[in-house]
Structure formats: C-alpha cells, structure tokens
Amino acid sequence: MSTLALKKGPLDDARANSNPVIKLVRQVGWVRTILSAAAVVLAVLIAANSWRLPLMIDAEHALFDARVAATAQAVEQDDRILMVPYTDETLINTGKRSPLDRTTLAKALKRLDTMGAKSIGIDILIDQAQPDDQLLIDTFKSMKTPTFLAHASTATANDKILYRQQEFLESFQKEIAVGNVRPTSIVMQSDSDNVLRKWADIIPGAPLRIANAMNPEAKGFDNYTGSVVYRKPKLIDQPIFAAIPIDSFSDDNIFAIPEAAEMFKQQVQGRYVLIGGNIADIDVFETPLSRARAEGEAHTTWGVELFAHMLAQMMDNRLLTPLSNGLLWAGSIFFVLAGGLTAASSRKPLISGTLLIAQLAAIVGLPFWLASNDYETYELPAFGWIVGWFLAFAIIGSAARALGSEQRKFAQSALGKYLPSDIAAEIMKDPDALQLRGEKREIFVVFSDLEGFTKLSHAIEPEMVAFLLNHYLEMLSDIVLAHGGTIDKFVGDAVVAFWGAPISRPDDGERAVKAAMAMHQAGEDFRSNVPEGVPPIGKTRVGLHFGEAIVGNFGGEGRIQYTALGDSMNTAARLEAANKQTKSSVLVSETAVARCGLDIFRPMGNVVLRGRAAEIGIFEPVPDMAPQDRQKFTEVANRAIGGDAAAIAQLARDSESDADDEALGNFVYRLQNAENGGFYVLD
C-alpha cells in the first residue's frame, strides 16, 4: 500500500480563513476560547445545581418563599377542617405540660365521636404511661369515627422519640387496634432553616401520612412529595382554619347546656378534625408565608395547622405538576446561552438595554409564572439561572471585547483603503457588517439631480462652479448621512445614495423618504442663497425606488469602491428624470411606498418610464396635506386611475381651483391622455 502526502496550499488556507468558527477562534485566541468555554460549562453547572451549593441554597429558599407568598390564594375560612388544639391555657388548667393530659383528650374524643366528623387525626404521641391511660384506651376502643393516632419511630423521627418510648407507643396502639383507631405518620421534613415547604417523603414500612390517612378518597396524593400549597386568609381577623380549644369539648358544664352542645356539633359535623398542640415553643415551624408577614405578626405555625393545609390541598386537588430534571437542565443551559449571546451581540444602547431588561424579567418572572400555574418550583434553580446568566454575560462579554479590539484594528486598516467614509462609523460599531464581497440586497435608492447646473457651469468662472458644486454636494451628503444612508457616488451634480446596505435597519424606508424630501428642500435653500452675479439655479429633483441590487466592493487592485449595481439604480434615476415631465419635485415608486411605513403620499398615476416597457405606479410625498384631505384625494385618484370619468372630472376641477399645483394639473392631463390600461408613456 502506498501513501500520498498532501501539502496544504493557499486554497486550504483560504478555506480555513473562510470558516467562521475557525476565524472567530483565531481572532479571540485559542487559550481565551478554551478558558471561556470551560467557564461557560461551569456557569451551567452552577446554574443547574444551585439547590445543592452552600449560600446559593439560602437564596433559592428565599426566592421560593417569595413565589409562594406572591401566588398564594387569599381565601375565606375553610369550613371543611376544624382544629382542636391543646393551648397554653389548657396546660394551666390541667396542670400538665408533658405528657399532655389524657383525660382531657379522652373526654373530648368521646364527645367528638357523636358529632359526625368525617375523620379525626391526632397529632399527639402516646409514648409513655400515665395513670389515666385506661380511660383513653376505653375511649379509643369505643370510637365509631375513623380516627388516626400519631405514630413515630427512632427510624423516622429520632429527634422526637426514644426507643423505649417507641416500644410503649407501639404496644399502646396494638392494644387499641380492635376499634376504628389506626396509626398514622406525623413525620414532617422541614428544610435546614426550619421552614416547612414540602410534604414528607414516603418511608417504607411506616403508616400512612396523617393527611393521606384522613382523606383516603383523594387521588394522586399517595406518593406525593411536592410542595405544600399554602393559602392566606382573605380577612385579617379571620384565620383560614377555625380552632376550638380542646378544653371546650372536655368541659361538662358547657355540654350541660343544650344550645351550646348543638352549636359545637354544627362546628364538627361533616368536617375533618385535627387534634394537636398550639403551645408556645413546641412543634412549631416556619412556612414560606410566615416569612412574608409584617412586623409584629406571628412568624411560626404549629404542626397541626400544617396538616390542615395538606388536607385542604388534597381536597382542592392542588397536585403540583413536576418539572423534569431534563427541563431544569435545559432552562439552565438556555439562560446561560442567552447571557452569553447577549454579551456577544453588538447593538445600540436602547436595544441592548431593552433586551437586557426583557431577559432579566423572563428569568425572574418565569418561576413566578410557573408557580402561579401550579407547577412545582421547589428545586427549580431560579437563583442559579440568574447567577448563570450573569456569569455567562461576564465571560462572553470579556471575550467579545477582545474580539472587538481585533476587529476594530482590521476595520481601521480597511476603511481608509477601500470603504467610503459615510459607512465608517457604522462599520466601526459593528465590524461583522463589513462585507468584502458582492451580495444581493433589497435597498432603497435615492437619485437626485440639480436642474440646469451643467448649463450654468459654462456661464460662470470655474472657481465659482467648484465652490457652488462642493457646497451643494456637501449639503446633500450631510442629509444622507444624517438619515443613515450610504452615499454611492456623485455623478456631476447628481447624488446617488441607498439605504439597506451594508447595514439594514427596520426604518430604512422611512429614513430614505425623509432624506429625499430634505434633499429637495436643501436644494431650494441653496438656489435661494446663491452669491451675487450667479444666474438663477434650477430646483433639485429626487427619485426614490425600492428593489434588489448587488451591493459590495467593486474595482481593481489599486482602487476599490463600495457601490450598488442593478436595475433599481436605473429606475431611481428615471424617476428623478420623470419629475421634469410630471411637474413634480420628488417621485417615489409604488414598491418604495409599500415598504417605507409612511402614509404621507398621494398617488400620481401609472406611467411607463423612459426606456422601459412595463408601467409603474408613482407617488408624491405631501407631508403637509391634512390626513383627511390626503385620504379623500387618494380615493378619488384611485378611481380616476381605474378609468372613472367622474373621478377624473373631479380632479380636473380641483386642478383648476389650485393653479399652483402643477403636478396635479399634469396628473389630470396624463389621465385624460392615458393609453389603454390606464398608463401614460413618458418621453
């Protein structure tokens, strides 16, 4: 087998240089490129893992709490759930703090059992013996209402129970298992800041969680471990869940009054009843809503109330839709790339500022929108996205500045050699817009000419000709540049300019139209201020057309000109020449009118330009005409162009009443002498 060694030649180098990626890397530098790419990857990793990073998780917690507070529904008191708590006053009345008085519990349960509750959940651990245990056991065995008694173990809650306590609890629950009382898990999983944001995980072998046990009809919550959906009270003085101290249900004196007994029954019947503690410093948690409360309001919530929120969430079927890890990673990548691309792009300050605000609003607003539409945003890296965006913006921004420096050096050397000065400023701002080859573009072309200047140049001194011509061309050039146009060339006293290359703007058409009108007006100012001894100067006529052209750098080794070639240039020149016969000053083609975005024109008929075979619609800008008058004229003119004799007669009467409007008079003449098809052939 033989081998053939291929050497790299000039063509290979040219191909490598034409590859935009290789060219970009060479300009930035390989080392900077590799470091920037590694830093962007690191930004993605940080953005996606912010819930697992120190310090950042605190920010994620704060943003999550803000989302919950901002999107929580304001509701009136929930009549489906009743809390029956032990309070500090209960402890004083019973003389017991730990364990809680079981006689009170037994008497309350006995009465609640007769009041028609849907189910009863007890958030109290019976984990050590007491003298009144038999009374409580007998009560549990007699319960008709489905009742669920708190269960915990050293495996699930070693901070709440010892093994010896677990042994007693399990033996106690085994003894009462003959009735309607079943064990239930009261395990809660708060975050490191003691804020309870989500449901507890499912623990294999443990009893059902209390909310699941009390409301077995709810669908989809058996394995739910997402966020707790908190609600906030609509009225300041009315809590979401009604609470009646357990003392009331154990007070024989109260229930000796039939009206009182009936009132309590109405409060219990058909509701889920939760019994637990509402005692200072015992079983208290913070919630996302408690962090948002005003100064002086309570900043903690008791466990029994948290279970009430979970029960309500089940009954409301607020099963939050989880977002897959793939989507969260995709979001991280997207926002990092967005930050990098924003830094890499070169735009005007207003556009850049708007883009920055829009992106930051999206980063901040998207998590709130998801939360408000019942998507799970726990572990959504909202703060990570913000950090990743800023990291990418800083990293790519640094690389872009290095690239910009190299491109400016290139542009500076190129501008003086072969680019016209009118596009230099834009090219320096955006070097990527510099095209070193011809390309097909859609452009607005303006062609202006000064009437009779050639004849005038033979009647005055050459020095005066040069002075007047330079002054005139400078005036018109300044207008083109001020309106963002590119000066193509000067042909004697004629100025050729275009909009749409090398840099195109959304308002190129508007700029071109305004420049055309300003060029005519500048010509009027010029002719009215000529030096003494100079014969009268004619007016400046302007033609404007929109069409395709080949735009680029053309020329030889020694001289290169940035110019446009194509039929659109010729059409603009013929439109300028047509002004003389149509008695107008500025003529705009129908294609330019359709694309410029302005509504300041009046139709002047269909004509065949000199040297052309096809007809074209021509328009005259009349910015000083009132909109209602212009609309009325346009309606009549369009009918006249279509051959409506009455409309032509109307225009003829208007022309007779306004003899100074020579363009209108000529329009009427052309309508009256139009060829079949409604067009007029210009000389």
What pLDDT digit, counting tens, does each position of 508-536 carry? 999 999 999 999 999 999 988 888 778 88
Judged against a pLDDT cut of 60, whether residue 414 lies above it is answered with: no
Residue 155 amino acid letter = A
pLDDT at 422 over 90: no
Q: Of how many residues is the chain composed?
A: 683
36-46 tens-digit pLDDT: 788 889 999 99
Evaluate the omega torsion of the peptide bond into residue 322 and state whether it is cis, within 30 degrees of 0.
no
**Rounded distance between C-alpha atoms, residue 671 and residue 462, angstroms:** 44
Mean pLDDT of 382-397: 89
Averaged pLDDT, 212-232: 92
**pLDDT beyond 60 at 295:** no
What is the rounded average pLDDT of the residues 495-520?
93
The three-state secondary structure class of 372 is helix
| Encoded amino acid at 387, one letter | V
123 contacts 308 by C-beta, under 8 angstroms: no
Tokens of 313: 């969430």
**How many other CB atoms sit within 10 Å of the CB of residue 205?**
7
Give the residue among 575, 565, 520 at the shortest CA–CA distance from 545: 575
Q: Are 269 and 116 in contact (CB under 8 A)?
A: yes
| Strands, E assignment, 155-225 | 181-185
pLDDT of residue 418: 35
Classify strands 494-499 and 540-555 as parallel, antiparallel or unpaired.
Answer: unpaired
Q: How confident is the model at residue 557 (pLDDT cuts 50, 70, 90)?
A: low
SS3 string, 109-172, reads: HHHHCCCCCCEEEECCCCCCCCCCHHHHHHHHHHCCCCEEEEECCCCCCCCCCCHHHHHHHHHH
User: What is the rounded average pLDDT of the residues 161-167?
Assistant: 87
* Residue 673: pLDDT over 70: yes
Q: Is the pLDDT of residue 412 over 60?
A: no
| Amino acid letter for position 16 | A
Least confident of 10-14, 311-315, 502-506, 572-576: 10-14
**Interatomic CA distance for residues 451 and 542, integer angstroms:** 11
User: What's the CA gap between 304 and 242, in Å, rounded?
Assistant: 12
Can you tell me the mean pLDDT for 204-215?
92
Average pLDDT over residues 420-435: 55
pLDDT for the residue numbered 459 = 81
Q: Are 74 and 240 in contact (CB under 8 A)?
A: no
Q: What is the pLDDT of residue 635?
A: 95
How far is Cα 383 from Cα 388, in angstroms, rounded to an integer?
8
What is the average per-residue pLDDT within 224-248? 92
Q: Give the mean pLDDT of 273-283.
A: 87
Separation in Å, CA 607 to CA 83, 444, 546, 677? 88, 20, 17, 11
CA–CA separation, 463 and 340 (whole Å)? 57
CA dihedral 271, 274, 280, 286 (to 10 degrees): -90
| First-to-last C-alpha distance (Å) of the chain | 77
pLDDT number for residue 681? 87
| Entry pTM | 0.58
Amino acid in position 555? G
Question: Which residues touch 85 (CB under 8 Å, ≥6 apart)?
Answer: 243, 245, 246, 275, 276, 277, 278, 302, 304
pLDDT of residue 17: 47
Band of residue 423 on the pLDDT scale cut at 50, 70, 90: low
Helix (H) or strand (E) holding 550: strand 540-555
Helix (H, G, I), strand (E, B) or coil at 3: coil
Across the chain, mean pLDDT equals 86
**The pLDDT of residue 351:** 77
Q: Is the pLDDT of residue 611 over 90?
A: no
**% residues pLDDT > 70 (the chain):** 87
Report how far residue 335's alpha carbon sits from residue 344's, in angstroms, rounded to the nearest whole number: 14
Confidence (pLDDT) at 8: 42
Pair 204, 156: CB distance under 8 Å: no
Q: Return the pLDDT at 593.
A: 95
Single-letter code of the amino acid located at 476: L
pLDDT of residue 403: 63
pLDDT band at 95 (very low <50, low <70, confident <90, very high): confident
Q: Is the pLDDT of residue 251 over 80?
A: yes
Query: How many whole angstroms separate alpha carbon 185 and alpha carbon 109?
Result: 20
The whole-number pLDDT of residue 1 equals: 37
Is the distance from CB of 405 to CB of 428 less than 8 angstroms? Answer: no
Model confidence band, residue 16 (pLDDT cutoffs 50, 70, 90): very low
**Strand duo 78-87 + 241-243: pairing:** parallel
Rg (CA), the chain: 42
pLDDT band at 402 (very low <50, low <70, confident <90, very high): low
Residue 556: per-residue pLDDT = 61
Q: For residue 132, is pLDDT > 60?
A: yes
Q: Quick one: pLDDT at residue 284?
A: 83
Instruction: Tell me the pLDDT band of 236, cut-offs 50, 70 and 90.
Output: confident
Q: Inform me whether the pLDDT recorded for 7 exceeds 50.
A: no
pLDDT exceeds cutoff 70 at 169: yes
416: left (phi over 0), alpha (psi -120 to 50) or beta: alpha
* Average pLDDT estimate for 199-226: 91
Phi, psi of 177 (to 5 degrees): -70, -5
Nearest in space to 309 (alpha carbons), one of 28, 52, 48, 80: 80
Residue 70, token pair as written in the block: 């901002």
Place of tokens 């977002």: 323
Instruction: Compute the average pLDDT of residues 53-71.
Output: 93
Task: Report strand pairing: 272-278 vs 119-122.
Answer: parallel
Render pLDDT for 348-379 as a digit per residue (tens, 0 to 9): 677 778 888 888 899 999 999 999 999 999 99
Strand partners, 85: 276
pLDDT tops 90 at residue 383: yes
Amino acid identity, residue 373? Answer: N
Could you tell me if residue 280 is left (phi over 0), alpha (psi between -120 and 50 degrees) or otherwise beta? Answer: beta
In the predicted model, is pLDDT for residue 634 greater than 50? yes
